[in-house]
């Protein structure tokens, strides 16, 4: 294919993914033909009810959980909010101390921020240079009044996968409820809730080729959790609201497909990822990898280019039809770069120069090669414009 421009290279699969054809097909009848409310008594309602229960079974199988432990929600944010706020409300009488990590998604962090305003105390566990939470640090942070620990399964920006079995095991041994935000992990790396002692786990369909606006919270059997939304009897009274039947059907199908294809697909993505990481680090000086080389999501590439700013790189990439994301402030609307990049020890100026490429099931080796060809001249172009660059070249010679 030579040097031809590609029509569009979508390397932002951690932001969202396209819905798979097979998923959309299963969803479609539930918009117009089988539109019944699962709570009603007539037969099309029964079809909807059955579809929701089939999805619940599929998702439970994908996580090695029980169907009764799956609660459908409107997505990752709601699941995260519910797990934390619901636990805090329930257990406030027992204690007011909570533990999380410094690199959580805002769907988690902002709940903790609000709880802090309401008199709770939160410990933010630091991470090391690779973005890993230390089990020993967690052990030390637990107090008699600790009522919840929430540590994400895998990070959305730098792709670091936490030692979640160890962390959940410590929480279980100390009798503290453990939640994990698995929004980036689910459908991409194996999750086994018989083995991992998490009490709650959040996931979201649109991160693994399912539809947007639907997710789930796993709540281990017998574990208490205050409802977050108040209303009807749906989801055993724990999550009211008429079910998003097509979305739930899509979630179940996407989860089943992702898990069935995971061994092959994750190996394919990891190879593409490594080709990109090696090509970028080898081809562009003054560049570092963000996150861990080995404890990493199969589709995540995150690098920091010195002397340049991420948004301007994204604009240039967009002109080459490459969709990517950055940890720079300019894309988030604040002046501070990503809290994740700062937490792994990047100084502000380097955090501003970060680029995230996240791969998914429709990406190809050709696309990776295209990006490896197009990226170096764009970085060079911005560096030529940068007042910080000359000094850097001097030290190289």
Partner 1 sequence: MYSDKVMDHFTNPRNVGELEAAADVGVGLVGNAKCGDIMKVFLKIDDGIVTDAKFKTFGCGAAVATSSMATEMVKGHTLREALQITNKAVAEALDGLPPIKVHCSLLAEQALHAALWDYAEKNGIEIEGLESPAADLEELERLGEEE
Given the rule CB under 6 A, which residues bind ligand PLP?
75-77, 80, 105, 107, 152, 156, 181, 183-184, 204, 215
**Which partner in partner 1, ligand PLP, none is near 129 (CB below 5 to 8 A by kind)?**
none
* Residue nearest to ligand PLP as judged by C-beta position: 76
Strand partners, 267: none
Measured from the CB atom, the residue of 265 and 309 that comes closer to partner 1 is 309
Least CB distance to ligand PLP at residue 312 (A): 24
Dist CA 132 CA 181 (whole Å): 15
Measured from the CB atom, the residue of 260 and 315 that comes closer to partner 1 is 315
- The residues near 68 (Cβ < 8 Å, ≥ 6 apart) are 221
Least CB distance to partner 1 at residue 345 (A): 15
Residue 373 CA, chain-centre distance (Å), reads 28
Catalytic residue at 330? yes
Q: What is the largest CA-CA distance in the chain?
A: 79
Length reported for the chain: 397
Least CB distance to ligand PLP at residue 190 (A): 17
Measured from the CB atom, the residue of 181 and 309 that comes closer to ligand PLP is 181
**Which partner in ligand PLP, partner 1, none is near 315 (CB below 5 to 8 A by kind)?**
partner 1
Are 137 and 124 contacting, i.e. CB atoms less than 8 angstroms apart?
no
**Which partner in partner 1, ligand PLP, none is near 181 (CB below 5 to 8 A by kind)?**
ligand PLP
- Among candidate residues 330, 342, 372, 380, the one labeled active-site is 330
Tokens 């172009």 belong to 381
Least CB distance to partner 1 at residue 374 (A): 15
CA atoms in the 13 A half-sphere facing the CB of 170: 21
Measured from the CB atom, the residue of 112 and 307 that comes closer to partner 1 is 307
**Which partner in ligand PLP, partner 1, none is near 388 (CB below 5 to 8 A by kind)?**
partner 1
Measured from the CB atom, the residue of 80 and 374 that comes closer to ligand PLP is 80
Are 322 and 297 contacting, i.e. CB atoms less than 8 angstroms apart?
no
Dist CA 248 CA 357 (whole Å): 28
Query: Which ranges of the chain does DSSP label H, i.e. alpha helix?
Result: 21-27, 29-32, 43-63, 76-91, 106-117, 135-141, 164-174, 245-283, 310-319, 329-332, 339-343, 348-351, 365-385, 389-396
Measured from the CB atom, the residue of 178 and 370 that comes closer to ligand PLP is 178
Strand order in the sheet with 354-358: 287-289, 300-305, 354-358
**Which partner in ligand PLP, partner 1, none is near 75 (CB below 5 to 8 A by kind)?**
ligand PLP
Least CB distance to partner 1 at residue 387 (A): 4
Residues at the interface with partner 1 (CB under 8 A): 306-309, 311-312, 315-316, 319, 328-330, 333, 335, 337, 348-349, 352, 384-388, 391-392, 394-395
Least CB distance to ligand PLP at residue 258 (A): 15
**Which partner in ligand PLP, partner 1, none is near 281 (CB below 5 to 8 A by kind)?**
none
Q: Distance of CA 353 to CAs 45, 345, 386, 392, Å?
A: 53, 14, 12, 15
Q: Which positions are catalytic?
A: 330
């Amino acid at each position: 294919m030579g040097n031809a421009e590609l029509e569009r290279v979508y390397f932002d699969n951690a932001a969202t993914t396209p819905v798979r054809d097979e998923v959309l097909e299963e969803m479609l009848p539930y918009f117009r033909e089988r539109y019944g409310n699962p709570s009603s008594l007539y037969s099309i309602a029964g079809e909807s009810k059955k579809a929701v229960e089939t999805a619940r079974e599929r998702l439970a199988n994908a996580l090695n959980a029980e169907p009764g432990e799956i609660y459908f929600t409107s997505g990752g944010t709601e699941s995260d909010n519910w797990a934390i706020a619901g636990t805090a409300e329930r257990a406030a009488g027992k204690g007011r101390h909570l533990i999380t990590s410094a690199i959580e998604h805002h769907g988690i962090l902002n709940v903790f921020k609000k709880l802090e305003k309401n008199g709770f105390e939160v410990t933010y566990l630091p991470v090391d240079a690779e973005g890993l939470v230390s089990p020993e640090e967690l052990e030390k942070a637990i107090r008699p009044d600790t009522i919840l620990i929430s540590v994400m399964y895998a990070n959305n920006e730098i792709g670091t996968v936490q030692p979640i079995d160890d962390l959940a095991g410590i929480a279980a041994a100390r009798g503290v409820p453990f939640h994990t935000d698995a929004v980036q992990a689910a459908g991409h790396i194996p999750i086994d809730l018989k083995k991992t002692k998490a009490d709650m786990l959040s996931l979201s369909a649109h991160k693994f080729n399912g539809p947007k606006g639907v997710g789930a919270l796993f709540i281990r059997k017998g574990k208490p959790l205050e409802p977050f939304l108040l209303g009807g009897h749906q989801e055993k009274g724990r999550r009211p609201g008429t079910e998003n039947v097509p979305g739930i059907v899509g979630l179940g199908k996407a989860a089943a497909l992702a898990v069935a294809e995971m061994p092959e697909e994750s190996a394919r993505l990891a190879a593409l990822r490594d080709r990109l990481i090696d090509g970028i680090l080898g081809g562009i000086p003054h560049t570092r990898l963000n996150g861990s080389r080995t404890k990493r999501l199969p589709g995540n590439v995150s690098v920091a280019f010195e002397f340049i700013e991420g948004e301007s790189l994204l604009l240039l990439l967009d002109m080459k039809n490459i969709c990517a994301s950055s940890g720079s402030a300019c894309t988030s609307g604040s002046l501070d770069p990503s809290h994740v990049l700062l937490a792994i020890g990047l100084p502000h100026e380097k955090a501003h120069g970060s680029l995230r490429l996240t791969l998914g099931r429709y990406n190809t080796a050709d696309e990776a090669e295209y990006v490896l060809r197009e990226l170096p001249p764009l970085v060079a172009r911005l560096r030529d414009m940068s007042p910080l660059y000359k000094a850097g070249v001097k030290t190289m010679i």
